[in-house]
Every structure is written in C-alpha cells, then in structure tokens.
Amino acid sequence: VARVDPFEARDEFARLMMSYKFGLDEVMTKVNILKEEFTYIHDYSPIEHVGSRLKSAESILKKAQRKNCPLTVEHIRAQISDIAGIRITCSFVADTYLIRDMLAGQDDITVIDVKDYIADPKPNGYQSLHLIVEVPVFMSDRVETVRVEIQIRTVAMDFWASVEHKIYYKYDGEVPDSLLAELKEAAIAVTSLDMKMERLYGEVAKLGGESSSTTSPPGGA
C-alpha cells in the first residue's frame, strides 16, 4: 500500500484550493464586468446581487464521502464540481437566461453542464439555473483548468432557497411532511410572483419606451 506523506498531501490540498480561488476570482471579474457595462449602456442591471464562496475542507470531505470519491486531488477535481461557487440573483427570469448566454458566449469559458431547475424545478420546488463552467487559470509555471459552479436565479427563488435551506438544516434533513407541502406551495407562489413582476415591468417599460431585456426574453423560460 502506497503511503501518503501528510505534509505533501496538505500542500497539494492547499494548492488545489488556491487554484479554485483564482478560478472564482476570474469568473467574479467577468460577472462584475457584465454588471457594470450593462448598467452603463442600458441604465439597468439584470444582476441584482453576486456572491461567491469556496467550499470548506469539511464540506468537500462530506461530499466526497457521499459520492464515494477517493480522496486524491485528481478525483476531487473530476467529481466535485462546486468547490468554487458563484450565486447571481436577478430581478426577472428572462435575465437569468440573459446572464447565462452572456457568460456561455465568452471564448475562455467552457460550459460543461447545465441544470435548468427553472424550466424543470426539483420535486421539492427548488428553482435555479446551474451552470458548471471551466476557466483556464494562468499560474507561474502552468495553466490549470478550474471548474466553477454558477447558480443563477431570481430574488424570489433565492429567498425560497435560503429559507428552505435553513429549514432543511434545522430538521437535519427530516423535514415534516406538512412543512414540505407548504414549501411546495410557496415555490408555486414564487413562480407566479416572478411571472407577475416580469409582466408588470414589461408593461411599464413599453409605456416608457425603455429598452428592457425582459420585454424580449432571450430564450428559455
């Protein structure tokens, strides 16, 4: 059995996390450029808020165990796609697809997976558009390809997800059926609120002759 040098393993893990931090910084810069430039041109931002996080060593370990992923840097890189995560919240559903298209269209971004839980919500009601992308990170002596998970959703979907997440942890995953049913109802209310707000905004934009991305959704929902 090959012995693992704990100092070497720690150094490898630190380097792994550093490359994910750089990948995160790169994609954050891209998102902030889109936000700023779009606001300058259209006097309107499809992005309400952007946040980022690096998964903790403990969460990486838990996810690796759940997926039966061997604890080597190669396996972790290949099997855990959300070590670096960015969450973008938008006012309207059409904007989530607009942001997806603007990011996916960039030459140095490769989209390797898309989960459209807006078009096809999870059974519990969760809605969000997830992209797994790869970006090249230029280090001093090599180029590393780093995966970043981008979650794009409306403010209303984000509110639902954050409350559901808290409830899920409070009950340690064993949420009572009555609460699950109410969460599902709340998710339906989120969809109807999103549709209503988008329609209202579209009407106001038409009246004012404004250029609104939501008056001509760029595909998708």
- 153 near ligand 0O2 (CB under 6 A): no
- 65 near ligand 0O2 (CB under 6 A): no
The Cβ-side half-sphere exposure at 102, using a 13 Å CA radius, reads 19
Quote the least distance from Cβ 168 to ligand 0O2, whole Å: 7
160 Cβ contact list (under 8 Å, min separation 6): 125, 126, 127, 183, 186, 187, 190
Considering only residues 22, 44, 126, 159, which one is a binding residue for ligand 0O2 as defined by CB under 6 A?
Answer: 126
In this chain, which residue has its C-beta nearest to ligand 0O2?
126
Considering only residues 165, 170, 196, 199, which one is a binding residue for ligand 0O2 as defined by CB under 6 A?
Answer: 165
- 146 near ligand 0O2 (CB under 6 A): no
Q: What ranges make up the beta strands (E) of the chain?
A: 47-54, 84-90, 110-116, 129-138, 143-154
Amino acid sitting at position 56: S
Q: Are 34 and 94 a contacting pair, CB within 8 Å?
A: no
- 122 near ligand 0O2 (CB under 6 A): yes
Beta carbon nearer to ligand 0O2, 180 or 193: 180
Per-residue CA distances from 201 to 99, 194, 196, 208, 213 (Å): 18, 11, 9, 10, 10
- 211 near ligand 0O2 (CB under 6 A): no
* Binding residues vs ligand 0O2 (CB under 6 A): 81-82, 115, 122, 124, 126, 130, 161, 164-165
